[in-house]
Structure 1
Amino acid sequence: MFANKAVFAAVIACCAAPAFAADIVEPVPVVEPAPVYQAQEFGGWYIRGDLDYHKPDFRGADYITYGTPPGTKSFDSGDLRGAFSLGGGVGYQMTSYLRTDLTVDYWFKSKFTGHTSCDNCASTDTSKMSALLLLANAYVDLGTWNGFTPYVGAGIGGARVKWDDLHNVIDSDDTIHKGTSNWRFAYALMAGASYCLTNNLAFDAGYRFSHINGGRMFQFNGAGPGFDKGFNTHEVRGGLRYSFGGGANGCYQPPVVAYEPPEPLYTK
């Protein structure tokens, strides 16, 4: 009798075990979302300030004469010394490789020395030239390596050229021709590199070639007026660019997020 009861109890236990096991819920791991890294931003406004040293290449000048017969004569020679300039501008970073800006530069006075001659005379001519250069520029940034971003660019605009009075000296006779000022077409080509100082501030250094068309140089006084043939100018430039948003200088770096996998959490 006892053996039969033991066998019956074992059978009941074996049948009940699966039923109790069905009531146990397997733990479900809770997976934390992957960290989100901030992407690099573009489309930022920036301002710039520049200092440069420029050397204009005087391309010659002509002036009207009223002898017999009247005509036009040219300067035998002419030279403009180098000078400094200050500039500023505002720009916009359109993509990681393309940006544009508007710049204005004031060229301080360059001293001019020239020579003219006639049948029985020779003169030394002196004056000074300054200019205000306005350009709309576009640049291609060629990528950033260790904080350095090389670039190439071009600009187009105009220049207001101002000539001081021209002193035409023959022996001890000084004839003064009144200088003029006028607007002229100008363009520029540039190449350089910037270096990231901070996420928003970059140092910019480079070379710019600029061309200014010719125009009136001085007024009539016995001879004249005179017209210069324009300038090709070589500029060495340096300055700072400050951006008001990440990426405008190519300097923005996404924040470093330290990520450690969380301990798994379970629910019943």
Structure 2
Amino acid sequence: MFNTARRALFAALFAGVGGPVFAADLAEPPVVEEAPPQAVYEQPAPEYGGWYIRGDIDYHWSKFGGADYITYGTPPSTGTFATGTLKSAFSAGAGVGYQINQHFRTDLTADWLSSSNFRGSTNGFCGVAQTPCTSTDTSSYSALLLLANAYVDIGTWHGVTPYVGAGIGGAWMKWDTLHNSDSDGDFFHRGGRGWRFAYALMAGASYCLTDRVKLDVGYRYSHINGGKMFDYDSLSNVGPGYDNGINVHEVRGGLRYQFGRSDCAPPPEPYVPEPEPVYTK
């Protein structure tokens, strides 16, 4: 009986001491919390646009569209220039524009087309016997061309942006004195001047020189409507005369300075957030 009680006492003591030890050995590992997913910051699309200014020079050649004039004979009749050519010349211009987005822009331009010499001829009758004769006619024209333009920038590759565009506006045309010479003598007609309707088509490409400056080269075709070429001259009893319009072909080069963000500027560095710390219990 005593031995049984003693065994029970030892068993109770062993359970009291060994239980916590085994419990410590079987304790669960600490829980490690996973770091929350890193926040994703989408890089906003670069905003292009803003005001720009431009300056251009060009070499242009003009095509004379012909001209008609009145001859006050018996009866009055209408004559036509038999020939007419215009020499090439230089011009310069400036403008201000707005880049609406990466692919579309508009501007207002003013170009001064310097004097282009004219040489032509007319067929008529000279002298008392009214024998057929041919005159030689010389003059020159200059013009101030004002246009409102719109362009499509097709895309940018390695800093080069090809574009196409069109413009509409007006031209202030000035013809110098027309000198008419034939066997009857020399006659001078005061040149015509005034505003005319004009339009233009252009194509070219720009190249990034800096993050704000672009080199712009291209071709522009301009048409200036017809108008008065010269006034009536009482000595020759001829005039006024009206040209049928001028076609101008230009090879242009210039610079554009962008005040707003340009597609030449490198994209901003992407924002990379700091990793958040990991806490454990």
TM-score by length of 2: 0.85
- Aligned mates of 1:165, 1:112 — CA distance in 2: 11
Equivalent residue number for residue 255 of structure 1: 268
Equivalent residue number for residue 91 of structure 1: 97
Cα deviation 1:18-70 (Å, max 9, x = unaligned): 8x869x66355366644664531123111111111111100111111001121
Identity among equivalent pairs (%) = 54
Q: CA deviation at 1:183?
A: 0.4
Corresponding residue to 1:70 among 76, 80, 83: 76
Q: CA deviation at 1:93?
A: 1.4
- Aligned mates of 1:233, 1:190 — CA distance in 2: 12
Equivalent residue number for residue 18 of structure 2: 10
Equivalent residue number for residue 5 of structure 2: none
Q: CA deviation at 1:232?
A: 1.1
Residue 236, structure 1, aligned to residue 251, structure 2: yes
CA RMSD of aligned residues (A): 2.4
Residue 129, structure 1, aligned to residue 129, structure 2: no
Q: Which runs of 5+ in 2 are unaligned?
A: 1-8, 126-130
Residue 215, structure 1, aligned to residue 227, structure 2: yes
- Aligned mates of 1:38, 1:65 — CA distance in 2: 71
Structure 1 segment 1-268 matched on structure 2, within 5 A? 4-15=12-23, 26-27=32-33, 29=35, 33-34=39-40, 37=43, 39-119=45-125, 120=131, 121-171=133-183, 173-221=185-233, 222-247=237-262, 250-257=263-270, 265-267=277-279
2:64–2:85 CA contact under 8 A, matched in 1: yes
Q: Secondary structure at the match of 1:52?
A: strand
Amino acid at match of 2:158: N
TM-score by length of 1: 0.89
2:216–2:254 CA contact under 8 A, matched in 1: yes
- Aligned mates of 2:148, 2:269 — CA distance in 1: 37
1:136–1:155 CA contact under 8 A, matched in 2: yes
| Matched length | 263
Q: Secondary structure at the match of 1:10?
A: helix
Q: CA deviation at 1:2?
A: 5.5
- Aligned mates of 2:276, 2:58 — CA distance in 1: 62
2:113–2:144 CA contact under 8 A, matched in 1: yes
Q: Which runs of 5+ in 1 are unaligned?
A: none
Moved more, 182-191 or 29-38: 29-38
Cα deviation 1:163-206 (Å, max 9, x = unaligned): 11111112483211111211000011111111111221111111
